[in-house]
Chain A
């Protein structure tokens, strides 16, 4: 899957206006048809990173440095209106709670047709047919019925499917999926994960798949980036990351994660520092079992130790 990346984030720094940094020099790329998992604990900046890829920033959060390139277009240099048109058509977002993406007073069909009109100029019968096709593609049972349903009439899993159909309506090439299965029951989660794999295979969709759940990431991702305190601390292929994690934080996370049948968990002491309280040296140093003097004083760079394998640690 080599070639020119579809999406490149380069040295992205975000901060609060007049406040601390929230993201520091975040760089990664995404190839066509690839699933990149972005994993980390709450407050590490993974959701902000996901939103940035769509040129979206929560109120008060401003991009300070860096570029978000889709093909060769820097999203951050576009006007708000241009960004809006870009979204949906090239990149789309799905998140944890479909009820916040779906408008409660319109039917599922109406909301998908709105996207079809906006991004593909489809209306009338063509729009309706395409909507039904999309609903069938995401395996929503009884598309004809669901087309006329309001969001509250669907179960959690069906709503998530409807939101995915809406995200697909503009035929995007990249889906940013932020904890898309976290609110679902495990049996429904398994169905939705299967659907993502299908969509990737059929549409060559690329995913930035954000999750706190290591086992979900292990199941779907081709490559994984691990975030800690506003920066990427490790990047590797799925196999390499889960078989031989390099960064002490990644190791700690894996040892603390309750897998099926695990006999002993090793708790990582302490907690993630909040923005503004990041240590000067390595941000993981206060919790790191391998900490040396240098780690407390100097901030390590993200180094490529093998092709495609990056780690931010002096000790590797």
Chain B
């Protein structure tokens, strides 16, 4: 069953220029993604590939220009405002920097109970649930009167998680949730995320630039490049050593660690303002041929569950 579906969504933004209307920056192009029940779907890509825009669409914070967004099987943006409001608590988010996403003037108690208050839960009951939620994310209830700046980075991220989970969501979008944390704290939060996902049977859309972390946490992974998904496959496919999209191969080869024969990928991701024709990756692709420059490859299934957008695969 699909929890969340983006079908051929497009999103572009108007750039303002000194002379008034500027060019339109097309960030996402005909992008399709499906998050299944009880699944952790990883989304990996480098800066500027559009993964945060995708997160905003998946969180229903923004409406796609074109295409459909289904949440729990329902066409979200075609529902009435009231129905949308009823669905909202089932869709939550955790962002990279809890110092920025948590209101610094609110105490932990208010931060965690706020989503319940919006649902009209009485104060005492909300407080009890907050205490329970805090213990589930590994925090003592003594922290309830504290402010975010009095917490460590790991504690803040746990508070953000408690706040997201207190409405018992079905889907949580995690946008770089551990990128600002130290290694030892990151491992604690990743463990916690896995444990909570199993306990509450939630689905995660886990967005990160860090391929090893994405492959650790996710069952399925989608690779994004310049606003498109270029490959999508079960976790094992990425680790099996078989042929992958040339960009995915380059990403894997760039993961630092042991000395290894490496073909460092030349150049840097081009800007969305100058999106290449044909395959978006062709200017940097070591295997590019003539058709790659002209014709945009479609995502095709080359093995069960393994889809790739490449003329050469």
Contacts and interface: CB of A to CB of B under 8 A. Distances in A.
Given A41-B182, A155-B268, A268-B184, A262 B212 contact: yes
Contacts of B196: none
Interface of B: 46-47, 152, 154, 182-188, 190-191, 209-213, 215-216, 239, 250-259, 262, 264-266, 268-269
B255 A186 contact: yes
B241 to A, nearest CB: 10
Given A193-B256, A194-B264, A215-B255, A271 B187 contact: no
Given A215-B257, A261-B239, A269 B188 contact: yes
A258 B47 contact: no
Contacts of B47: 156, 185
Contacts of B209: 185-186
Interface in A247-296: 252-253, 255-262, 265-269, 271-272
A267 B265 contact: no
Given A157-B268, A216-B256, A265 B216 contact: yes
A265 B191 CA distance: 8
Nearest to B267: A141
B268 A188 contact: yes
A267 B187 contact: yes
Contacts of B46: 185-187
B216 to A, nearest CB: 5
Contacts of B188: 267-269
Contacts of B251: 186-187
Contacts of A193: 256
A66 B87 CA distance: 63
A267 B191 contact: yes
A145 interface: no
Contacts of A262: 212, 216
B268 A271 contact: no
B45 to A, nearest CB: 9
Contacts of A252: 184
Contacts of A190: 253-254, 256, 262, 264-265
14 contacts: A158-B268, A186-B254, A186-B255, A187-B265, A189-B254, A190-B265, A191-B265, A215-B255, A256-B184, A257-B183, A261-B212, A262-B212, A265-B190, A271-B184
A267 B184 contact: yes
Contacts of A256: 183-184, 186-187
A187 B254 contact: yes
Given A189-B256, A266-B187, 13 more contacts: A185-B46, A185-B209, A186-B209, A187-B46, A190-B256, A191-B264, A212-B183, A219-B259, A258-B216, A260-B252, A262-B216, A267-B188, A271-B152
A191 B187 CA distance: 28
A41 to B, nearest CB: 4
Interface string A197-219: 00000000000000011111011
Given A185-B268, A194-B264, A272 B212 contact: no
A42 interface: yes
Nearest to A257: B183
Contact of A265 (B182, B187, B266): B187
A282 to B, nearest CB: 16
B256 A215 contact: yes
A17 B264 CA distance: 47
A79 to B, nearest CB: 38
A117 to B, nearest CB: 31
Given A215-B255, A259-B257, A265-B190, A271 B210 contact: no
